[in-house]
A and B are shown apart, each in its own frame.
Chain A
């Protein structure tokens, strides 16, 4: 009777599905646990940090930790600094990458393919190879301990990845549109500004997300170029958090976890809101579209 209702192939299928769901949803625990643990620790009072065995749910919820972090360290300052650097880096990358990509996508000139290959080859060049002379160059410019080294290079092409992404997208825009505007007497810059760029909203958003994540999370640049604590970005401020916080020898892990979550939240929000565009960009870059 039972074997009629549940033939072997059906049992096999059900087991397969159960297993699939168990693995797929079970894995979320591994990915989420560090976040849950950090949030839990960030809401505990100091004396609960060192309880044995560890408690995921705090006995007393101490939401004040999230207020305290802004007082014990100049977190607001770091936050504003990071926003400043990120906004001007990302806008520079997008504007200059779009211009350069427009040149590669729409104009014929000698050595175009060679130059484009040269551009792509820089994707594989580790930035550490040039970091020392670049540092010395910025020192000669008296740019050390300013945001210039973090922002201004982004205004010169915005990197091979961004140019590549824009060019791929521009190539999909029909040339008829340019031609029609040209007949109406429009110059090439007007065409770029009024036709190409407005049609490229998806790839602009893609670069906003990718550029934001890179600038927001950058550590190496600020580490090398910024010295004055008031100028620190969040990543550098967070790395020095335990030195900055004077807790009189007391543990500060709950505050450290709270500050870490504050720094992480914008990245997570930007990604969740704009992930469609982000994923598109990553997929195009791999050439598997």
Chain B
């Protein structure tokens, strides 16, 4: 007996209301599902496979086992890029978090012109990174730049070569990043969190005779601790991905060298990945670098979330 295809697929019986709702829901979220499969899941699997191959884009990928990972352990630039990235993250993130919180607390006071101040503090973070890099390269110009002019006017002698010397290039990049980060999103989020702390908490602390340090330590920090965690986790992920600023600052003028100079002092992890993939076209090795990066980011984020149980206080708990 021939069963019509519609019936065989169960389509002849009308869908129940909840089935229809589910079907519509899936249709609405389908752009994301397709995008997720094509631009995230697929590439992640492909990159896991590519990391096990030798692939220079011209000839087809050749299976190479764990060669790329072995090579990585002996790759001096890999270790250098890890060192640079950790140096940058460990110095930049704590200063950025503490500084943003300080600025937010400042703007949380009764000052005339608060809104204008907030806007002004924020402007560096909407400045395109490429433009910011050039603004600061010009300020850090060793001979006639603004920074070294101020240093010598203060009687501190000749300033450093900044981006021209491996000893001062990372501090210069940290200064530029801080300029762009202190008054940015992190500060806005802290400010909103500070405004959400109930006034009564401070009032009763006043009655108990608590000083401002005590109030900060026992009211402000616990109240906003979930937001401190949020900003720190995102700050670390962002810092580990440092790329554009270092790329432009180290190659903006002379493009004959791979970016990351001088002497690889600004070769951050993603820059090394970029050079391997798009400068040397070692797609297999770069994929291995990408996977190791993924594991590093996951481990560092997981570690932060795990240790956060000790210091983050959520309302409604205990």
* A residues in contact (CB < 8 Å) with B: 20-21, 23-25, 27-28, 30-35, 37-38, 41, 49-54, 96, 99-100, 102-104, 106-110, 112, 115, 118-119, 122, 124-126, 128-137, 153, 155-157, 163, 188, 213, 216-217, 219-220, 223-224, 234-235, 238-243, 253, 256-257, 260-261, 263-264, 267-268, 270-272, 275, 279, 282-283, 286-289
**B109 contacts A20, C-beta separation under 8 Å:** yes
Contact of A107 among B21, B130, B241 (CB under 8 A): B21
Q: Is A129 a contact partner of B24 (Cβ separation < 8 A)?
A: no
Number of residues in B with C-beta < 8 Å to the partner? 93
Q: CA–CA, A173 to B47, complex, Å?
A: 41
The answer to whether A242 touches B32 (Cβ under 8 A) is no
Which of these, A31, A38, A108, A112, contacts B179 with CB under 8 Å? A31
Residues of chain A with a CB closer than 8 A to B149's CB = 52-54
Interface residues of B (CB under 8 A from A): 18, 21-29, 31-36, 38-40, 42-44, 46-47, 50, 57, 103, 106-107, 109, 111, 117, 119-124, 126-132, 134-136, 138-139, 144-146, 149, 153, 179, 183, 185, 188-189, 192-193, 196, 224, 226-227, 230-231, 233, 237, 240-241, 243-244, 247-248, 252-253, 255, 270, 273, 277-278, 283, 286-287, 290-291, 293-294, 297-298, 301
* Complex contact B253–A242 (CB within 8 A): yes
B44 and A129 within 8 A (CB): yes
Return chain B residues, CB-CB under 8 Å to A41: 138
> In the assembly, what is the distance between CA of A34 and CA of B31, in Å?
42
Contact (Cβ within 8 A) A104 B188: no
Q: Which one of A54, A100, A137, A275 lies within 8 Å of B122 (CB-CB)?
A: A275
Name the A residues within 8 Å of B33 (CB-CB): 115
Whether A288 and B226, one on each chain, are in contact in the complex, defined by CB atoms closer than 8 angstroms, is yes
Q: List 21 A-B contacts (CB under 8 A).
A: A21-B111, A30-B179, A31-B120, A34-B132, A35-B135, A99-B28, A100-B29, A100-B32, A106-B25, A107-B22, A107-B25, A129-B294, A130-B47, A132-B47, A132-B286, A156-B34, A156-B36, A219-B130, A238-B130, A256-B138, A288-B224
Q: With A and B bound together, what is the CA distance between A59 and B314 in angstroms?
A: 59
In the bound complex, do residue A128 and residue B18 qualify as a contact, i.e. CB atoms below 8 Å apart? Answer: no
Does the CB pair A103–B297 fall under 8 Å?
no
Q: By the criterion CB–CB under 8 Å, are A126 and B293 in contact?
A: yes
Instruction: Choose from A126, A132, A137 the contact partner of B297 (Cβ within 8 Å).
Output: A126
Q: How far is the CA of A23 from the CA of B107 in the complex (A)?
A: 11
Chain A residues with CB below 8 A from B139, complex form: 34, 37
Query: Contact: A267 with B128, CB < 8 Å?
Result: yes
Measured between beta carbons, the chain A residues less than 8 angstroms from B247 are 219, 223, 239
Q: Which residues of B contact A239 (CB under 8 A)?
A: 130, 247-248, 252
Closest to B233 in A: A124
Beyond A25-B117, A34-B139, A270-B126, list 10 extra A-B contacts (CB 8 Å): A24-B117, A31-B121, A31-B183, A128-B241, A129-B290, A129-B293, A156-B36, A213-B126, A223-B247, A288-B227
Q: Assuming A24-B117, A133-B43, is B129 touching A128 (CB within 8 A)?
A: no
Contact: A283 with B130, CB < 8 Å? no
Interface centre among B103, B124, B126, B291, by most A CB within 10 Å? B126
Q: Is the CB of B32 within 8 A of A52?
A: no
User: What secondary structure prevails in chain A residues at the interface with B?
Assistant: helix
- Inter-chain CA distance A219–B23, complex, in Å, is 39
Main DSSP-derived SS at the B contact region = helix
CA of A238 to CA of B252, assembled, Å = 9
Q: Cα distance A41–B231 when bound, in Å? A: 36
Nearest opposing residue in chain B for A160, CB measure: B32
Is there an interface contact between A163 and B32, defined as CB atoms closer than 8 Å?
yes
Instruction: Report yes or no: A136 in contact with B283, Cβ–Cβ below 8 A.
Output: yes
Taking the closest CB of chain A, its distance from the CB of B93, in whole angstroms, is 16
- CB < 8 Å neighbour of B25 from A109, A261, A272, A287: A109
Tell me, in angstroms, the Cα distance from A33 to B149 when the chains sit together: 14
Inter-chain contacts of A243 with B (CB < 8 A): 255
Is there an interface contact between A238 and B134, defined as CB atoms closer than 8 Å?
Answer: yes
Distance from A244 Cβ to chain B, minimum over Cβ atoms (Å): 11
A34 to B182, CA, bound (A): 15
Tell me the complex Cα distance, A28–B47, Å: 46
Chain B residues within 8 Å of A52, by CB: 144, 149
Q: A104-B29, A267-B128 are in contact. Are A156 and B38 (CB under 8 A)?
A: yes
Query: How close is B111's CB to chain A, nearest CB, in angstroms?
Result: 5
- Taking a contact as CB atoms under 8 Å apart, the answer to whether A103 and B26 are in contact is yes
* Residue from A131, A134, A137, A267 in contact with B127 in the complex, judged by beta carbons closer than 8 Å: A267
